[in-house]
Structure 1
Amino acid sequence: MILDVDTGIDDAMAIAYAVADPKIELIGVLSSFGNIEADRASHNALNVLDMFNATDVPVFIGNHNPLDHQYQRIDINAQIHGENGIGDVELKASERDISEQNGVDFMVEAADRYGKDLTIVATGPMTNIASAIQKDKDAMKKVGNITIMGGALTVPGNVTPVAEANIEQDPVAANEMFTSDINITMVGLDVTLRTLLTKKETQQWRDTKTEAGEKMADIVDFYIDVYDDIYPELGGCSLHDPLAVGVAIDPSFVQTIDMNIMVTTEHDAYYARTIGDKERLNDPHTNVKVAVNVDKERYLKVFMKRFLDLFQATK
């Protein structure tokens, strides 16, 4: 598995999930802009990996900016994820260096090398995937599983009434990915808003009496507190990014519908909307599986087991 992240709080949980699951060999983490700048996202990823003793997993930097404009961090990202991207919790600084190889080049080479055995999970903007498709579409078509956290088909967006954050960061890249004929599983707000974590669960992490458990509880409790302020109706924080990792491993966590998806790139009220592509409505081939329902109880049970086992392993 390769994780493509913009390491905020839920990306940190996605990294932990991938490290924890025994089915996964995590061969690299690739960072981009989004919740925070690409450089800081990469260092957050290194520090999270090292906290879980995954010091053999390299970290790469991909794109620093969207395909068609310059990245600028928005205030809501600092509010939700903290100034440093991980709830303003200080982790031990890794002694490792970020890889000098460009992250997009790494993704393309891995796609060509591992083919159907490779899973890519993107939990930030789709810029790195779009860039990889532009660089070598044939190699990217070999990948066995590309699962993204992004989009909103049946529910409103979370940055505008129609736009989900990862798509809104680079709609041009997302549209290029969705319309490329490469098979994608879209784990969007339709299911992630139903998959919630509370301080009851993070207390169990603290109860492990491990530094990793305490630190992750501190990070996620920050997130839960923000959700209590912004989305009090939910009753917890959404497990956006770790759900995408879970679905990539076990697709039976969700129910999907097959669609051809496009993203609106015009700068109007519908900017960055994910919606069915009317030009391909009659195309017998569909390339996107859109998650529309989730077995949230079973997922949370597996999620908690993975995390508790991981924390115990760091003792």
Structure 2
Amino acid sequence: MPRKLILDVDTGTDDAVAITLAALHPELELIAVTTVNGNVEIRYCTDNSLRTLDFIGRGDIPVYEGCPKPLVRADFPIPRAVKKDGGMHVNVLPLPDPVSRKQDKGAVEFLIETFRNATEEIVLVPVGPLTNIAAAIAADPDFVKNVPEVVIMGGAHYTGNITASAEFNIWADPEAAAVVFAAGFRKITLVPLDATFQALVSGAEAKALEDLGTNAGIAASRFIAQRIKGYDSTQPMKTLGSAPVHDAVCVAYLVRPDLLETKFVNVQIETQGIHTVGRTVFDVNKRGDAAPNCHVAFGANKDIFINMMMDVFKRA
């Protein structure tokens, strides 16, 4: 039986690859996509999600638009962050205009109702800022107990990608992230930069995806090539001409848990530091008194990730 999931996205290039993998993998059932303000403004996140689903032939999957701004911070405009990404995230992805349309219901309401009424387990996979999830927690006292598992892309231990100490998704709404990690979900797995930087996709591998000749392979190749260009110009990886596809790693993990090496540690979010706002604080050496609350990925197997995309996108 396919594993059910909901993707919560701020769709730019890596989110689009994650949507493609989740929508097409035969062992997954993508129930819906919910969007949140993040890489680009919410209207573009929604439009990009619709474009992606239509292009890969999965316009039947509903898209629900969510929160247009962070919970608290008016001083976190997304354009200021986008300028630092070397063009990896554009307002409109290079795909045909969507035919499908977003749902009338809002993302937060949809999440609350879906998990409240679920008769089978659904994994919640937020790969953007955590605003929608924190809003659902605030609106429904039972939301946390209704969600069996959360797999989050975000955070960093060794290095940030938007500031010296913070990863973008957590930095974009640190108060929301703090709410989510303190909420007491039964199981949270966090996939930070420390893991995704170990699952790099090269230009040659992107070309191989294009050569599959499917819409999924062509789209993924196009997005990854754009990411490689951005990373090479702004934050080159150890292997030049390669880039992480952060969000898709979370989707692949649902099918192949052995993709990631995790440690169960306490994670807290810095919301007040002048130089460290948005930092994910991992108590790897057990210096604090707080109990572990999160399975954090510190390693990733690139071959499992690449082979999965090649296999799934070939059959699409």
Question: Of residues 9, 19, 27 in structure 2, which corresponds to 1:5?
Answer: 9
Q: Is the CA contact (8 Å cut-off) linking 1:130 and 1:174 kept in structure 2?
A: yes
TM-score (normalised: structure 2)? 0.90
1:174-218 Cα offsets, whole Å, 9 max, x none, are 011011111211000110011111121121222233444334322
Residue 84 of structure 1 is matched in structure 2 by 91
Ranges in structure 1 where 5+ consecutive residues have no aligned partner: 311-315
AA of the residue aligned to 1:159:
I
AA of the residue aligned to 2:272:
E
AA of the residue aligned to 1:50:
D
| Aligned-residue offset at 1:115 | 6.2
Q: Is the CA contact (8 Å cut-off) linking 1:127 and 1:174 kept in structure 2?
A: yes
CA distance in 2, matches of 1:19, 1:296: 21
Question: Of residues 58, 71, 79 in structure 2, which corresponds to 1:74?
Answer: 79
Residue 169 of structure 1 is matched in structure 2 by 172
1:184 lines up with 2:188 in the alignment: yes
Q: Is the CA contact (8 Å cut-off) linking 1:179 and 1:260 kept in structure 2?
A: no
AA of the residue aligned to 1:26:
L
Q: Secondary structure at the match of 2:155?
A: coil
**Taking structure 1 as reference, are residues 141 and 249 closer, same or farther at Cα in structure 2, changes over 3 Å only?**
farther
Percent identity (aligned):
32
| Aligned-residue offset at 1:76 | 4.6
1:50-199 correspondence runs (5 A): 50-70=54-74, 72-77=77-82, 79-86=86-93, 89=94, 91-114=95-118, 117-153=121-157, 155-182=158-185, 183-199=187-203
Ranges in structure 2 where 5+ consecutive residues have no aligned partner: none
Q: Is the CA contact (8 Å cut-off) linking 1:115 and 1:144 kept in structure 2?
A: no
**Taking structure 1 as reference, are residues 92 and 186 closer, same or farther at Cα in structure 2, changes over 3 Å only?**
same
| Aligned-residue offset at 1:24 | 1.2
**Taking structure 1 as reference, are residues 288 and 211 closer, same or farther at Cα in structure 2, changes over 3 Å only?**
closer
1:276-295 correspondence runs (5 A): 276=282, 281-283=288-290, 286-295=292-301
1:104-138 Cα offsets, whole Å, 9 max, x none, are 11111111122661111111001111111111242
TM-score (normalised: structure 1)? 0.90
CA distance in 1, matches of 2:228, 2:204: 11
AA of the residue aligned to 1:152:
A
1:264 lines up with 2:267 in the alignment: no
AA of the residue aligned to 2:49:
A
AA of the residue aligned to 2:250:
A
Q: Secondary structure at the match of 1:248?
A: helix
Question: Of residues 201, 206, 212 in structure 2, which corresponds to 1:202?
Answer: 206
Residue 313 of structure 1 is matched in structure 2 by none
Question: Of residues 287, 302, 313 in structure 2, which corresponds to 1:296?
Answer: 302
Residue 16 of structure 1 is matched in structure 2 by 20
CA distance in 2, matches of 1:75, 1:265: 19
Q: Secondary structure at the match of 2:34?
A: strand
Q: Secondary structure at the match of 1:186?
A: strand
Q: Secondary structure at the match of 1:271?
A: coil
Residue 275 of structure 1 is matched in structure 2 by 281
Structure showing the higher helix proportion among its residues: 1
The count of residues paired between Structure 1 and Structure 2 equals 305
